[in-house]
């Protein structure tokens, strides 16, 4: 994207669209795989791990089985939350398919989606065998049954049939029980196409040898190639699969006598039975177990994350680049790390630094801290590239980390949205007090300028969503409902997709502790449904935050509240059943994004510069409104004292170095000439405070400059002048200490039209009576009823405006034949508050045509203080083609007197009838100098004066010139000499 286009996008959209392209590869909670002593199943912190091949041979990845007793998963990058039993699509007895009547044989299920398992893709049309005895398998040998788990210790992996087993609880079970009929099966399966998930549920199945009952489930996350990292289109695909989202989830609800009463076994194994995992933890009610795959290479290092610069940087502000590098292999590694920064528009290298001698243990990370780097002008896009060099690296495609940084001052607080997860219909319901909230972490406060909310489909009736800015309780935690919203705005649109809204002229400052948070909520602007949200998975989860609320007293994967009917509900649980029903995964936020100004924060947001680089708070004054002139109309020759509204939306009081100049400029839109430019100094003895500090000086002031007197224009077609007015505040000129970090908001622009004080005129004459014959011929005795349309061109309303109609005989020396006078009691002006009309129609009494002569009808306004007589009247003609030619009068270019001449000369000509006449002056080379006559001329003799100038009014040189007349078929030329 070019600098100009990117800057425009930021200015118009507060970076919402442009910055959405910024991605970061990793979350901050990076953690390497926990090592195991060997390739056998090993119990680790409530979970188990096993290689899919011995680690010292050809390590091609492992499956790790872990449960919800762990503080976090073994692979924090990428991280996907473990589901809970309460998630809607995991409870399938109402929507699922019951297996065929019990026969103690597995059910042969045909896959509807693909599933990646131990390096093999099982595709639609392949079979999965669902056993009533608590296991599933892709092995055709599984069709024979196998009610009892292997007797080997450990039971997984075992080479004997069946293989490819996935067993949440393998034991001899009876899926029927009283009072159900003996043929009623209690095993269900359900494929959820929306979430690309297959669930199998054993619903209160009974142990074969006793009456113990068990309610549990296995859920497979399907979805094909896109669930693998890297994607097949990614260059890193050359390394093979390094992570799989094809998770296996075991979910345990309840059992009547504990989970070990019938000696069930839990685990998975590969297609040959050589590799697998045996779960060694203790099953319990509401225990959730997941098996996931990630590959680790023997030698593999990677540039992991940019801690700084962030996606947005300030112009001219030095910042210290910091890059995290990780050893994600199995061996100790020694290597250098490189950082290059390019101007992305011209691909030129602007910064380069290398750190040699990194020495990292397996799973260890370190941070590369570089010398300070100074970004350039606002609107520039930089591309940061970090990469280690390890000669024996097994997977070089994951080494390089790239990220864009934009020089600007507006940012978008957002998460990485995943659109496919949940659909929440009718988000507003019928309750206009319902709101959904999104959590935003921040430290010390931030200027929130607005936001945008995503709705799936608008509802007819035009009900728009609102955006509400809420503080947190004590600045850190849940939304503070008792205080009400800090600001609320109705979005500009209600279309499907993003709908924006802005909080006032320059936003609202939200003060928080450090750390702290704020919330953006959204609801309907009126009663009734206003469309549906698309709920979205949080990918990745936000970083750990002390204000981050969650159910059960521990950090949870939800960052959303729902408010309605005076209560507050968190996440998908608590007590609100309808809310519980619509959410179908664990871990959601809502598609609301906040627009913020100078919104620095922790990774992945833009970090604030810190020592040893520039670390002063950012400066930003904005000229956000033109108080005077504020209307779109100004009056000619009436002085105006310009007044500009200036606010400090930076992070410190101003000025601290002397003065602030405010400037006012007026530009003529037609000529582009600057017609006025003056400024006023805002003295440093009257500092302007900043929005985040209520104890300092006012954060908004009004600057006035010397008066400006707009000039009007008297013109027959458009008696007005259009001006562009520019207000500007300047905060220093060079360097960060005395400069405005965000110059794009320094200027405010307003367009005004200057009108003459008093000016009315006739703009049209019409009458309904058609001519008696072709052209404009009316016979004597015919009647004409003239209506004149009068327009107020001026700045003031007018009263008692007289309008006169005169009819003259052109063929008889313009003798008056008839006249009439009408008065307009009141006519408004175009800038009137109530939009009343500023034109009026005047209908005169009927005129009886007196004769067949050429007659001129002229209608004019008669306003005593009219500033522009040029536009007062309109003229129309009748009977122009039937008048007799004056006896003996031919076409003629008559005398030029004097000739030669000094100063001016009079040129005479004659025409026998009304005809179009052209009278032009040429120099001796034939170049046109000026046009003296162009248009219809009445019969008779005429004269025109030439004062020796060209069409632009410039004096021409002495010499010989030619005067040429053309009229109908007549043409004549005479010579004239200018001394």
Q: What is the DSSP secondary-structure string of 722-777?
A: EEEEEEEE---SSSSTTS-S-GGGSEEEEEEEEE-SS-EEEEEEE-SPPPSBTTTB
The mean pLDDT of 356-380, rounded to a whole number, is 92
DSSP secondary structure letter of residue 242 = -
Predicted confidence at residue 282, as pLDDT, reads 86
419 or 78, which is more confident? 78
96 or 665, which is more confident? 665
Predicted confidence at residue 914, as pLDDT, reads 85
Predicted confidence at residue 788, as pLDDT, reads 96
CA 537 to chain CA centroid, nearest Å: 20
Predicted confidence at residue 425, as pLDDT, reads 44
| Cα→Cα distances 840→755, 803, 846, 864, Å | 19, 11, 19, 19
- Closest residue by Cα to residue 420 from 195, 113, 593, 199: 195
**pLDDT per position as a tens digit, 414-468:** 754 443 333 444 444 434 455 677 778 888 889 999 999 877 667 666 778 889 8
- Closest residue by Cα to residue 617 from 661, 649, 662: 649
**pLDDT per position as a tens digit, 923-946:** 988 899 999 999 998 888 888 999
Predicted confidence at residue 432, as pLDDT, reads 47
Give the Cα separation of 758 and 766 in Å (integer): 25
Predicted confidence at residue 709, as pLDDT, reads 97
Per DSSP, the residues of 312-377 read: EE-TT--B--EEEEEE-SSS-EEEEEEEEEEETTTTEEEEEEEEEEEEE-TT-EEEEE---B---S
Q: For the ranges 15-19, 48-52, 238-242, 910-914, which has the lowest average pLDDT?
A: 15-19
- Closest residue by Cα to residue 308 from 513, 19, 597, 28: 28
Give the Cα separation of 719 and 737 in Å (integer): 49
Return the structure tokens found at 686: 């009257």
Q: For the ranges 655-664, 815-824, 860-869, 935-944, which has the lowest average pLDDT?
A: 655-664
**Residue positions counted in the chain:** 979
Range from 116-130, 497-511, 720-734 that averages highest in pLDDT: 116-130
Confidence band of 178 (pLDDT split at 50, 70, 90): low
The mean pLDDT of 34-42, rounded to a whole number, is 39
Predicted confidence at residue 235, as pLDDT, reads 66
Phi, psi of 76 (to 5 degrees): -80, -5
pLDDT averaged over every residue in the chain: 80
The mean pLDDT of 479-494, rounded to a whole number, is 87
Strands 855-862 and 301-308: unpaired
Give the dihedral of Cα atoms 581, 584, 589, 593; nearest 10 deg.
-90
- pLDDT of residue 883 exceeding 70, the answer is no
Give the Cα separation of 654 and 647 in Å (integer): 10
365 in Cβ contact with 401 (< 8 Å): no
The mean pLDDT of 295-307, rounded to a whole number, is 88
403 or 294, which is more confident? 403
Give the Cα separation of 875 and 711 in Å (integer): 29
The mean pLDDT of 71-89, rounded to a whole number, is 63
Cβ neighbour number for residue 709 with a 10 Å cutoff: 15
- pLDDT of residue 106 exceeding 50, the answer is yes
- pLDDT of residue 602 exceeding 80, the answer is no
331 in Cβ contact with 364 (< 8 Å): no
Give the Cα separation of 547 and 555 in Å (integer): 10
35 in Cβ contact with 56 (< 8 Å): no
The mean pLDDT of 544-552, rounded to a whole number, is 57
- pLDDT of residue 570 exceeding 50, the answer is no
Give the Cα separation of 718 and 216 in Å (integer): 83
**pLDDT per position as a tens digit, 340-355:** 999 999 999 999 999 9
689 in Cβ contact with 653 (< 8 Å): yes
**pLDDT per position as a tens digit, 135-170:** 999 999 999 999 999 998 888 889 999 999 999 999
**pLDDT per position as a tens digit, 244-282:** 999 999 999 999 999 999 999 999 999 999 888 888 788
246 in Cβ contact with 223 (< 8 Å): yes
| Cα→Cα distances 185→98, 166, 377, 587, Å | 7, 21, 71, 33
The mean pLDDT of 678-688, rounded to a whole number, is 74
Return the structure tokens found at 109: 């299920």
The mean pLDDT of 894-906, rounded to a whole number, is 88
Return the structure tokens found at 649: 């939306």
Give the dihedral of Cα atoms 135, 138, 144, 146; nearest 10 deg.
-30
Report how many helices (DSSP H) and strands (DSSP E) the chain contains, helices first: 2, 65
| Look-up of token digits 């440093």 | 684
Phi, psi of 388 (to 5 degrees): -90, 165
- pLDDT of residue 817 exceeding 70, the answer is yes
Q: For the ranges 10-24, 81-95, 589-603, 773-787, which has the lowest average pLDDT?
A: 10-24
């Amino acid at each position: 994207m070019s600098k100009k286009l990117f800057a425009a996008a930021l200015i118009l959209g507060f970076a919402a669209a442009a910055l959405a392209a910024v991605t970061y590869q990793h979350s901050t909670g990076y953690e390497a795989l926990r090592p195991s002593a060997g390739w056998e199943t090993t119990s680790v912190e409530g979970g188990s791990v096993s290689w899919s091949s011995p680690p010292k041979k050809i390590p091609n990845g492992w499956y790790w089985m872990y449960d919800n007793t762990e503080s976090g998963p073994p692979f924090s990058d990428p991280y996907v939350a473990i589901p809970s039993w309460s998630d809607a699509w995991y409870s399938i007895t109402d929507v699922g398919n019951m297996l065929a009547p019990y026969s103690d044989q597995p059910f042969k299920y045909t896959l509807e989606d693909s599933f990646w398992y131990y390096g093999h893709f099982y595709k639609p049309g392949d079979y999965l065998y669902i056993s009533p005895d608590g296991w599933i398998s892709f092995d055709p040998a599984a069709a024979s049954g196998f009610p009892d788990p292997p007797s080997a210790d450990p039971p997984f992996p075992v080479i004997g049939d069946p293989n490819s087993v996935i067993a949440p609880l393998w034991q001899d079970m009876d899926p029927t029980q009283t009072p159900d009929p003996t043929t009623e099966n209690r095993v269900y399966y359900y494929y959820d196409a929306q979430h690309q998930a297959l669930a199998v549920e054993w619903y209160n199945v009974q142990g074969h040898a006793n009456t113990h009952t068990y309610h549990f489930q296995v859920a497979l996350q399907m979805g094909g190639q896109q669930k693998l990292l890297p994607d097949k289109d990614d260059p890193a695909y050359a390394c093979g699969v390094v992570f799989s989202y094809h998770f296996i989830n075991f979910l345990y609800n309840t059992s009547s006598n504990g989970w070990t009463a019938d000696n069930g076994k839990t685990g998975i194994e590969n297609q040959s039975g050589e590799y697998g995992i045996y779960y060694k933890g203790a099953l319990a009610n509401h225990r959730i177990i997941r098996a996931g795959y990630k590959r680790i290479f023997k030698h593999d290092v990677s540039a992991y994350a940019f801690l700084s610069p962030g996606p947005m940087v300030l112009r001219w502000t030095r910042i210290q680049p910091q890059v995290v590098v990780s050893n994600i292999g199995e061996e100790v590694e020694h290597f250098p790390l490189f950082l290059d920064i390019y101007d992305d528009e011209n691909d030129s290298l602007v910064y380069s630094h290398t750190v040699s001698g990194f020495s990292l243990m397996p799973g260890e990370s370190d941070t590369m801290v570089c010398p300070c780097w100074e970004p350039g002008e606002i609107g520039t896009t930089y591309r940061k590239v970090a990469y280690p060099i390890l000669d024996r690296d097994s997977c070089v495609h994951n080494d390089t980390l790239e990220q864009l940084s934009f020089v600007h001052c507006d940012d978008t607080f957002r998460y990485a949205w995943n659109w496919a997860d949940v659909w929440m219909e009718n988000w507003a319901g019928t309750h206009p007090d319902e709101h959904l909230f999104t959590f935003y972490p921040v430290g010390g406060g931030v200027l929130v300028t607005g936001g945008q909310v995503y709705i799936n489909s608008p509802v007819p009736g035009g009900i728009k969503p609102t955006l509400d800015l809420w503080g947190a309780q004590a600045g850190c935690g849940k939304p503070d409902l008792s205080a009400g919203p800090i600001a609320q705005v109705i979005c500009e649109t209600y279309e499907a997709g993003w709908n924006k809204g802005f909080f006032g002229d320059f936003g609202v400052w939200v003060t928080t502790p450090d750390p702290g948070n704020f919330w953006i909520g959204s609801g309907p602007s009126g009663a009734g449904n206003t469309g549906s949200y698309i709920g979205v998975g949080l990918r990745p989860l936000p970083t750990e935050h002390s204000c981050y609320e969650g159910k059960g007293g521990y950090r949870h994967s939800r960052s959303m509240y729902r408010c309605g009917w005076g209560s507050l509900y968190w996440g998908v649980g608590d007590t609100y059943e309808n809310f519980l029903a619509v959410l179908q995964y664990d871990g959601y936020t809502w598609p609301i994004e906040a627009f913020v100004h100078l919104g620095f924060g922790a990774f992945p947001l833009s970090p604030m510069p810190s020592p040893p680089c520039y670390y002063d708070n950012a400066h930003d004054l904005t000229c956000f409104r033109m108080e005077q002139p504020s209307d779109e109309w100004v009056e000619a020759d009436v002085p105006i004292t310009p007044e500009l509204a200036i606010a400090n939306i930076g992070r410190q009081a101003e000025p601290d170095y002397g003065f602030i100049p405010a400037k006012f400029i007026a530009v003529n839109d037609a000529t582009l000439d600057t017609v006025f430019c003056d400024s006023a100094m805002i003295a440093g003895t009257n500092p302007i405070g900043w929005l985040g500090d209520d104890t300092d000086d006012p954060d908004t002031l009004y600057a006035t400059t010397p008066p400006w007197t707009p000039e009007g224009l008297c013109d027959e077609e458009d008696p007005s002048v259009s001006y562009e007015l520019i207000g500007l505040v300047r905060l220093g000129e060079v360097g960060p200490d005395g400069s405005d970090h965000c110059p794009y908001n320094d200027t405010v622009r307003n367009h005004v039209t200057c009108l003459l004080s008093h000016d009315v005129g006739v703009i049209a004459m019409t009458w309904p009576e058609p001519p008696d014959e072709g052209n404009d011929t009316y016979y004597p005795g015919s009647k004409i009823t003239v209506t004149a349309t009068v327009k107020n061109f001026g700045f003031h309303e007018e009263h008692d405006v007289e309008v006169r109609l005169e009819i003259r005989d052109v063929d008889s020396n313009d003798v008056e034949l008839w006249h009439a006078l009408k008065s307009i009691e009141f006519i408004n002006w175009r800038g009137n508050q109530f939009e009343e009309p500023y034109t009026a129609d005047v209908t005169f009494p009927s005129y009886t045509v007196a004769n067949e002569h050429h007659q001129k009808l002229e209608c004019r306004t008669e306003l005593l203080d009219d500033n522009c007589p040029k536009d007062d009247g309109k003229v129309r003609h009748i009977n122009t083609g039937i008048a007799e030619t004056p006896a003996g009068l031919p076409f003629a270019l008559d005398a030029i007197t004097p000739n030669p001449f000094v100063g001016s000369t009079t040129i005479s000509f004659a025409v026998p009838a009304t005809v179009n006449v052209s009278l032009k002056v040429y120099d001796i080379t034939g170049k046109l100098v000026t046009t003296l006559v162009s248009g219809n001329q009445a019969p008779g003799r005429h004269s025109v004066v030439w004062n020796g100038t060209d069409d632009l009014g410039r004096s021409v040189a002495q010499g010989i010139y030619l005067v040429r007349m053309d009229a109908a078929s007549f043409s004549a030329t005479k010579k004239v000499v200018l001394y």
